[in-house]
Structure 1
Amino acid sequence: MFYSSKDLKFQLFEHIKVSELCKLPYFQEHSQETFELVLDAADKIAVHQLRPLLTEMDRQEPKLTADGIKVHPGMRKIIQTFGEDGWINATFSFEEGGQQLPNTMHMAAGFIFQAANYSSSVYPFLTTGAANLIRTFGSQELIDKFTPNMYNGKWQGTMALTEPDAGSSLSDLSTTAYPTEKEGVFKIKGQKIYISCGDHDACENIIHLMLARIEGAPAGVKGISLFVVPKINVDTGLPNDVRTEGVYHKMGYKGAPIAHLMMGSEDLCEGYLVGEAHRGLSYMFQMMNEARVGVGMNAGAIATAAYYSSLAYAKERPQGRKIGEKDPSQPQVSIIEHADVKRMLLFQKAITEGSLSLLLYCSKLGDMAHAGKGEAKVNAALLLGLLTPIAKSYPSEMGCLSTSAAVQVLGGAGYTTDFPVEQYYREARIHPIHEGTTGIHGMDLLGRKIVIQEGKAVQLLMAEMIQSIARAKTVKQTDSFASTLEKYMQKAQQVTGHLLQKAGKNPEVYLSDATLYLEFLGILVIAWRWLEQGMDASSQLEISTQDSEFYHGKLMAMEYFFEYELVKMGALEKRLLSEKITTIAMQTEWF
């Protein structure tokens, strides 16, 4: 068991009530029945195709040969399945051959795939993001030229941003595009590193969505343009002078290759301009923002798989006896009977299920921002923008700690390759890094999202929390937790106001602890999502005793989060209110 179908369906149908999206005209062809069919189809692929290759893909890393990067042979069939079954373009319109599936359900299916085998799940959804950029900003000619074979899985899509001297600082990228006699076609010269699925033999072609600077363009981010750069020229069928220089060897997530690419070594690399010149970064941010919630989901899925692996082990592994029971003639108990093991399991449950709640909630906001109307549409977009740094970073950072707890539950066995938790531990670590490090998201939250439209997004979030608190106070099982959340919400408002006073005076001081503020607000948001889950579980217990163990487990996980995690805001509050600026005062020479 690598995820809980029961919990996923609770989160979707009872908790965030995803079926409400079917009231929107764009999604009106769907229903809970079609959504459940989507989940069942995802489960079958995960169980029968992805999961069996989990260990093999970790042990048999991609290899660079004279013909390019070779990956596990099973990936070709997996990508074909995703293409043939319509997963790659499922969220796109009926007119484009898509299913107009809510992104919330696409993300939920992705959660299943990622929990089964993270590496294998990456390939098709990178193509989804790349194709989405072309269909949104590209000309009809580009759409017709590239997207059909991306949708059917014959061609892989990638996002090519990072360069040796321009990682998170994209304004410093140096890959250059030179105009040609053909309109919209440029010669590309430069290199890109850390390109996920940037080259492999499981598809016929690799289609890079690449950032480059047109010769003579303004310096900085305003001079960056977006290009489609295929590995194989789709007009001639000849190599497009995109050479794979290397494949990176990673600590985890080994089944998906990460490539180092050189373009234009022979002056033959052609790229097609997407949209308008010099607007590439704004276009790319569409894909990046979608990917950031996706990264949070990846992290949550891996941590979930680790949790269920450690839970199964804890139920089976006999060790010792309960405190006070000293008779050696009595049988040992399973380690799940020990309070400290329960603590580690509760920690994982609270982190993973709390994160999943936030991620699905954000996905629903995205669907409302896409297909809604009027004020609801605008507010959904604002709230999603505010929550995106948290939805990316909290599951990523806490997922590392959660998978570590899974290893700890197994003890020495968890440190061996005989059990999958050590692989999960390695795979979890990438998520606080890619699609923007945690530090970058901290500065995004405090430096941009908090102050946008004079703090309207924060006001919307607090209004949502206030409504939840008011409802929770009318429910016996959640009344006391509502009062606690209210107290910590007031702390968050006080800290935010204190920090904002520094914003205009000294930006460096204001943002010096932005990562801690991200953690601080993240804990509050997850507590809010747990309060919501607690109310939903309580209402189900009132209706029926069926699945009562599941719902009681929800209530205890909520209690754990409030007792063990929410209280951490107190220490962070003290730090964020302090006038000490240790990290700025520290001199480089003193290290």
Structure 2
Amino acid sequence: MADKYIDIETLKYLLYDVHQLEEVLDADRFVDHDKESLELFIDAVKDFSDRELFPFIKEMDDHPAYYKDGEIIVHEQVGVMMKKGGEMGLISGTFDYDAGGLQLPMMAYTASAFIQDAANNHLPGYAGLTIGSAELIVHFGNKELNDKYVPKMLSGEWGGTMCLTEPQAGSSLSDVVTKAIPTDSEYYKISGQKIFISGGDHQYADNFVHLVLARIEGAPAGTKGISLFVVPKKRFDDKDDLVSNDVTTVADFQKLGQKGYCTTHLGFGDTNDCHGWLVGEAHQGLKYMFMMMNGARIAVGRGAAAIATAAYQASLQYAKERPQGRKLTSTGKKNPEQGQTLIINHPDVRRMLMQQKVVAEGSLSLVLLASKYFDLKETLQDKVEIEKYSLLLELIIPMVKTYPSEMGAEAVSNGLQVLGGYGFCTDFILQQYYRDIRIFPIYEGTTGIQSQDLLGRKLLMENGKALQLLTEEVMKTIQDASKYDDIRSYANRLGEKLQLTQKVIGSLVAYAKKGDFERFLSDATPFMEFFSTITMSWIWLEIAVNAKKSIISGSKNHSEDFYESKIHAMRFYFKYELPKTTGLAEILFDNEVLTIATEKEFLG
């Protein structure tokens, strides 16, 4: 077990110095908060994570959640997570005071949740799904639903879930068949099944409030006929006592990773006595659910970045302690009489560790940037500025969800490789991180779905205005970087990649203009990798510019070695990651079609 799971200095550097949390604190909403109070909150979360989360991560993998006699049995730390999460504001943090929240900036909440995810990625999801379902009720539910359910959810007494997926539908929500039949009372009769419901049942919550997508009887086909319902596991009777609401826990899925985070199969209305209450207007359920999806996708990117971070810390510690082999001499040969060297001194091990570092820290910076855009669009008063940050957020969200997930998995794989044979053994945690992170490219819309969203919707929305705004932000960084002799060449390289991006997008959009949308989107996933890699080079150049300015100004916030390590990481990214976009561009320019189904079948 590693001694360390996070570099708190880097987290605070990115939060305060690079992304300027205090700029967000100028908003009236956050008048009660300042840097010092938020620092205390983050430090308290770190202490809590050190005591109650990190020591149990391996134990929760060894003893997974399981189904028994109609219930899901989970590790006792789930109870600690929910109870302490309620007491410390880890659930209510970003909610309004009126709802019982702390009105924290999303940036501060994201930083605190990142610490928890890195400490033990099996636990924060229980609170996270409760947050998501409570947000839906707060934003779209009536006063009665808010008064009845939200307080106990934010306190951690009750859990919450979001129930979208069905056995026959998967990600295709237009095929949802769960029924909602109107009654003479204010509720509907709900019947159907939902699968892959994270945190859907356990013994440490008195009740569960499920937010269920269902189709009211007679509703239009497709996504336009889907409504959203509050469906509690237990409902209140006429005496305000909790009684069964005909919600059945059918099973728990046994998984490759995140074994301590239960994933349930739920049944609704097996005895025709399941009551559900409509949230907002009928047939608007999918719109409501997806209005909350930006936060959910930031959370997925955050979780993946956190696992990649913990894996980097574990493999870095191992490399600093493991002696093996000898360094090459000036003659190009090894001296057998020379003592063994630590593996961190071998160039290829250093390459793998640096790849982990740039993916983990870059992903965290991207997630914090998305959180900042979220805060700004919610708190600024100027309509032009609100539109700007809303569009920027919409454009980067698919990358925020995808890059940390896909590249995080690759980074953790490198971490496992650093350990060699021991990395494959259960005595060391890298193999667990490798299994845990693999679900993240699937959560909240797979990589393929995110890629089609990026290329097919986000780049083209508002006639490409979001892309224009992002390009302007990148150009600001390029101009700043060009002022410094030792990083000017990297700014020039990024400028060249921006020009390549315009050519690639123009080539692909030509198919859409001709009405050949299948061809337009057929290489959406390679485009996601291409565009994300260039976006991340901007993220790293921005970090390097900040570090360079700090060195020149003589900033004492961090050591000069710390700042120089960030510039070195940027250089590594530009040498080893950014050049991959040349090959990806070649794929995207190629007009040969090989993946669209035709009358002849070549997969057999």
Q: Look up the match of 2:377.
A: 369
Could you tell me which amino acid in structure 1 is paired with residue 527 of structure 2?
A: Y
- Check conservation: 1:307, 1:345, Cα contact below 8 A: yes
Quick one: distance in 2 between partners of 1:402 and 1:35?
30
Q: Look up the match of 1:576.
A: 588
Q: Look up the match of 2:235.
A: 233
Q: Look up the match of 1:313.
A: 318
- The alpha carbon displacement at 1:2 in A equals 0.4
- TM-score, normalised to structure 1's length? 0.98
- Check conservation: 1:386, 1:449, Cα contact below 8 A: yes
- CA deviations 1:508-533 (Å, max 9, x no partner) are 11000011111111001100000000
Residue in structure 1 matching 2:336, options 325, 328, 332 = 328
Quick one: distance in 2 between partners of 1:218 and 1:121?
37
Residue in structure 1 matching 2:447, options 438, 443, 447 = 438
Q: Look up the match of 2:535.
A: 525
Q: Look up the match of 1:117.
A: 120
- CA deviations 1:148-181 (Å, max 9, x no partner) are 1001000001010000111111000100001111
Could you tell me which amino acid in structure 1 is paired with residue 438 of structure 2?
A: R
Secondary structure at the residue paired with 1:398?
Answer: helix
Q: Look up the match of 1:250.
A: 255
Could you tell me which amino acid in structure 2 is paired with residue 538 of structure 1?
A: K
- The alpha carbon displacement at 1:191 in A equals 0.2
Question: In structure 2, do the counterparts of structure 1 residues 237 and 348 end up closer, same or farther at CA, with 3 Å as the change threshold?
Answer: same
Residue in structure 2 matching 1:407, options 404, 416, 420 = 416
Q: Is residue 2:488 matched to residue 1:487?
A: no
Residue in structure 2 matching 1:32, options 24, 31, 35 = 35
Quick one: distance in 1 between partners of 2:70 and 2:266?
14
Q: Is residue 2:362 matched to residue 1:354?
A: yes
Secondary structure at the residue paired with 1:590?
Answer: coil
Quick one: distance in 2 between partners of 1:588 and 1:21?
56
Quick one: distance in 1 between partners of 2:486 and 2:226?
54
Q: Look up the match of 1:192.
A: 194
Q: Is residue 2:563 matched to residue 1:551?
A: yes
- Check conservation: 2:363, 2:403, Cα contact below 8 A: yes
Q: Is residue 2:184 matched to residue 1:181?
A: yes
Question: In structure 2, do the counterparts of structure 1 residues 587 and 530 end up closer, same or farther at CA, with 3 Å as the change threshold?
Answer: farther
More displaced, 230-239 or 12-21?
Answer: 230-239
- CA deviations 1:339-384 (Å, max 9, x no partner) are 0000000100111111111110010000001111221111100000
- Check conservation: 1:178, 1:215, Cα contact below 8 A: yes
Could you tell me which amino acid in structure 1 is paired with residue 371 of structure 2?
A: S
Q: Is residue 2:193 matched to residue 1:157?
A: no
- Check conservation: 2:38, 2:108, Cα contact below 8 A: yes
Q: Look up the match of 1:202.
A: 204
The within-5 A match list for 1:466-481 is 466-481=475-490
- CA deviations 1:383-441 (Å, max 9, x no partner) are 00000001100110001100000000001111111111110000010010110000001
- The alpha carbon displacement at 1:31 in A equals 1.3
Could you tell me which amino acid in structure 1 is paired with residue 499 of structure 2?
A: Q
- TM-score, normalised to structure 2's length? 0.96
Could you tell me which amino acid in structure 2 is paired with residue 32 of structure 1?
A: K
Could you tell me which amino acid in structure 1 is paired with residue 342 of structure 2?
A: S
Q: Look up the match of 2:142.
A: 139
Could you tell me which amino acid in structure 2 is paired with residue 338 of structure 1?
A: H
Quick one: distance in 1 between partners of 2:214 and 2:366?
35
Quick one: distance in 2 between partners of 1:386 and 1:588?
37
Could you tell me which amino acid in structure 1 is paired with residue 190 of structure 2?
A: I
Could you tell me which amino acid in structure 1 is paired with residue 188 of structure 2?
A: F
- Check conservation: 1:477, 1:538, Cα contact below 8 A: no
The gaps in structure 1 that reach 5 residues or longer are none
- Check conservation: 1:130, 1:287, Cα contact below 8 A: no
- The alpha carbon displacement at 1:67 in A equals 4.5
Quick one: distance in 1 between partners of 2:211 and 2:278?
10
- The alpha carbon displacement at 1:586 in A equals 6.0
- Check conservation: 1:133, 1:287, Cα contact below 8 A: yes
Could you tell me which amino acid in structure 1 is paired with residue 133 of structure 2?
A: A
Q: Look up the match of 2:549.
A: 539
Secondary structure at the residue paired with 1:261?
Answer: strand
- CA deviations 1:16-55 (Å, max 9, x no partner) are 1111111111112211112211210110111000111101
Quick one: distance in 1 between partners of 2:206 and 2:406?
36
Secondary structure at the residue paired with 2:304?
Answer: helix
Q: Is residue 2:272 matched to residue 1:262?
A: no
Could you tell me which amino acid in structure 2 is paired with residue 244 of structure 1?
A: T
Q: Is residue 2:457 matched to residue 1:448?
A: yes
Cα RMSD of the aligned pairs, angstroms, is: 1.1
Could you tell me which amino acid in structure 1 is paired with residue 338 of structure 2?
A: Q
- The alpha carbon displacement at 1:330 in A equals 2.3
Secondary structure at the residue paired with 2:234?
Answer: coil
Quick one: distance in 2 between partners of 1:587 and 1:475?
57
Percent of aligned positions that are identical: 46
Secondary structure at the residue paired with 1:209?
Answer: strand
Q: Look up the match of 1:87.
A: 90
- CA deviations 1:117-155 (Å, max 9, x no partner) are 001111111111110000000000000000010010000
The gaps in structure 2 that reach 5 residues or longer are none
Quick one: distance in 1 between partners of 2:85 and 2:599?
52
Could you tell me which amino acid in structure 1 is paired with residue 414 of structure 2?
A: A
Quick one: distance in 1 between partners of 2:138 and 2:322?
52
Q: Look up the match of 2:225.
A: 223
- Check conservation: 2:177, 2:192, Cα contact below 8 A: yes
More displaced, 343-352 or 546-555?
Answer: 546-555
